[in-house]
């Protein structure tokens, strides 16, 4: 993809921290008009940032918690970016909820950037372009980047490959949900948060989470996963969450930052390759190869495996795929 003069100017504005340039860049990402591999050299080295994943079942109060975290981060003088994945419209593919109204206290702050991304059917709880959008935020100088997942339960595991610190937010009523999530979502938490802790059952939830953390398999270094109580309505406990995020960041820097970075970059490269190959395959199968194999595809007596084997031996297909 050719890098136009307009794109070059946009990236220069982005690197200067221009929020309108960031918004435009993410829009171009969503439209498929901004190809990061093509402009990577222009972006240059990204600044240092802390990426925080916030996940948990719907109704746990994730957005309210994030609202308070933004306040504490801004009081510390830091720029904050939020990428909130919303359910996509089945008709347009866009985010249904738009920019989060529950974070409205920060809309007039030019050092806070909040953007909703449509999930577009993503099975990992986050939009496919979240990784690239977070990269643009780092380039624009945002110190804290918060990724909120769509809130679909145990399928939200992709967040662990994007975030430095993963917050799993639950409420006292989540007891039955916890059993279903144990083998997935519950395993990825760096910090457990029991939100709406003024409700009945909060103590029982803490006890259940304590049991889960104590029975985890070894291999998480010396970090002991804390269980924090919060109330998103009045902000009780949210400062402690922010302080614990900072402590975890320090821990990563002194213990396993290199290994974590390697794993995240390996996963990112894998996803990039899969996405690019998928786009090429889709183009080939819906264009040049569609007519060639139309007869076989129209004949239910022909096995799909037979068609697959023929395609994989098709030199035109494999040659064009590798270009």
Average pLDDT on 251-260 reads 72
The torsion region of residue 141 among left (phi > 0), alpha (psi -120 to 50) and beta comes to left
pLDDT of 283 higher than 80: no
Last residue of a domain, one of 233, 255, 277: 255
* Helix, strand, or coil (residue 147): strand
List, in sequence order, every residue forming a beta bridge with 207; answer none if it has no partner: none
Regarding whether 64 and 139 lie in a shared domain, the answer is yes
* Helix, strand, or coil (residue 51): strand
pLDDT value, residue 104: 61
Report which listed range, 37-51, 56-70, 205-219, 289-303, is most confident.
56-70
Residue 246 domain-assigned (yes or no)? yes
Residue 260 domain-assigned (yes or no)? no
- Residue the block writes with tokens 């804290």: 144
Residue 87 domain-assigned (yes or no)? yes
Burial of 33 (0-12, 13-18, 19+ CB in 10 A): exposed
Average pLDDT on 260-266 reads 73
pLDDT value, residue 297: 80
Regarding whether 112 and 3 lie in a shared domain, the answer is no
pLDDT of 275 higher than 50: yes
Q: Average pLDDT, whole number, for the chain?
A: 80
Average pLDDT on 97-118 reads 72
Q: How confident is the model at residue 67 (pLDDT cuts 50, 70, 90)?
A: very high
Last residue of a domain, one of 224, 255, 286: 255
* Helix, strand, or coil (residue 274): helix
Cβ atoms of 18 and 140 within 8 Å: the answer is: yes
Regarding whether 75 and 59 lie in a shared domain, the answer is yes
Regarding whether 151 and 30 lie in a shared domain, the answer is no
Regarding whether 305 and 216 lie in a shared domain, the answer is no
CB atoms within 10 A of CB 193: 29
DSSP 214-233: HTSPS-STT----EEE-BTT
Residue 153 domain-assigned (yes or no)? yes
- The Cα-based distances of 100 to 85, 104, 158 in angstroms read 10, 7, 22
Average pLDDT on 291-307 reads 82
CB atoms within 10 A of CB 254: 8
pLDDT 10s digits, 16-54: 999 999 999 999 988 888 888 788 888 887 778 999 999
Listed residue (145, 125, 133, 237) closest to 191, CA to CA:
237
Q: How much of the chain, in percent, has pLDDT values that exceed 90? A: 34
Per DSSP bridges, beta strands 144-148 and 50-55 are: parallel
Average pLDDT on 209-220 reads 71
Cβ atoms of 241 and 259 within 8 Å: the answer is: no
Residue 15 domain-assigned (yes or no)? yes
Regarding whether 178 and 222 lie in a shared domain, the answer is yes
Regarding whether 215 and 240 lie in a shared domain, the answer is yes
- Which tokens in the block code for residue 305? 């495996």
Residue 58 domain-assigned (yes or no)? yes
Residue 261 domain-assigned (yes or no)? no
Report which listed range, 94-108, 158-172, 228-242, 262-276, is most confident.
228-242
Regarding whether 222 and 78 lie in a shared domain, the answer is yes
Regarding whether 279 and 158 lie in a shared domain, the answer is no
Regarding whether 202 and 174 lie in a shared domain, the answer is yes
13-17, 50-54, 84-88, 266-270 — which is least confidently predicted? Answer: 84-88
Structural domain range at position 156: 45-255
pLDDT value, residue 158: 75
Listed residue (145, 218, 211, 220) closest to 182, CA to CA:
211
Cβ atoms of 191 and 167 within 8 Å: the answer is: yes
Q: How confident is the model at residue 160 (pLDDT cuts 50, 70, 90)?
A: confident
pLDDT value, residue 191: 95
Regarding whether 274 and 239 lie in a shared domain, the answer is no
Instruction: Give the chain's length.
Output: 323
**Residue 140, φ and ψ in degrees, nearest 5:** -80, -5
Regarding whether 293 and 199 lie in a shared domain, the answer is no
- The Cα-based distances of 155 to 11, 57, 166, 188 in angstroms read 34, 10, 14, 12
The pTM of the full predicted model, rounded to 2 decimals, is 0.80
How many distinct structural domains can be found in the chain?
Answer: 3
pLDDT of 75 higher than 90: yes
pLDDT 10s digits, 227-244: 999 999 999 999 999 999
Q: Any idea what the CATH number is for the domain that residue 91 is in?
A: 3.40.50.300
- Which tokens in the block code for residue 262? 């390697």
Last residue of a domain, one of 235, 255, 275: 255
pLDDT value, residue 59: 83
Residue 171 domain-assigned (yes or no)? yes
45-49, 88-92, 95-99 — which is least confidently predicted? Answer: 88-92
């Amino acid at each position: 993809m050719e890098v136009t003069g307009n794109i070059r100017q946009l990236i220069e504005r982005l690197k200067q921290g221009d929020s309108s340039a960031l918004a435009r860049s993410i829009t171009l990402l969503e439209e498929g008009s901004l190809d990061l591999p093509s402009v990577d050299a222009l972006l240059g080295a990204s600044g240092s940032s802390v990426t925080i994943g916030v996940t948990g079942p719907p109704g746990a109060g994730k957005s309210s918690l994030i609202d308070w975290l933004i306040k504490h981060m801004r009081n510390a003088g830091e720029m904050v970016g939020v990428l909130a994945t919303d359910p996509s419209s089945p008709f347009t593919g866009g985010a249904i909820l738009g920019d989060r109204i529950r974070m409205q206290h920060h809309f007039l702050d030019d050092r806070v950037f909040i953007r909703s991304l449509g999930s577009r059917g993503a099975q990992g709880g986050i939009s496919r372009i979240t990784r690239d959008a977070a990269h643009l935020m780092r380039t624009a100088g945002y110190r804290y980047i918060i990724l909120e997942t769509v809130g679909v339960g145990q399928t939200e595991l992709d967040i662990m490959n994007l975030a430095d610190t993963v917050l799993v937010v639950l409420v006292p009523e989540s007891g039955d949900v916890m059993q279903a999530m144990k083998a997935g979502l519950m395993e990825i938490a760096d910090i457990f948060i029991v939100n709406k802790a003024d409700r009945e059952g909060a103590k029982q939830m803490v006890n259940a989470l304590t049991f889960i953390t104590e029975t985890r398999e070894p291999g998480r270094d010396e970090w002991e996963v804390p269980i924090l109580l919060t109330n998103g309505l009045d902000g009780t406990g949210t400062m402690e969450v922010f302080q614990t995020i900072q402590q975890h960041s320090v821990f990563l820097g002194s213990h396993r930052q290199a290994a974590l970075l390697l794993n995240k970059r390996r996963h990112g490269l894998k996803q990039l390759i899969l996405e690019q190959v998928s786009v090429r395959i889709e183009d080939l199968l819906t264009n040049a190869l569609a007519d060639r194999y139309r007869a076989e595809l129209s004949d239910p007596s022909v096995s799909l495996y037979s068609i697959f084997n023929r395609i994989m031996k098709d030199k035109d297909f494999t040659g064009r795929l590798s270009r």
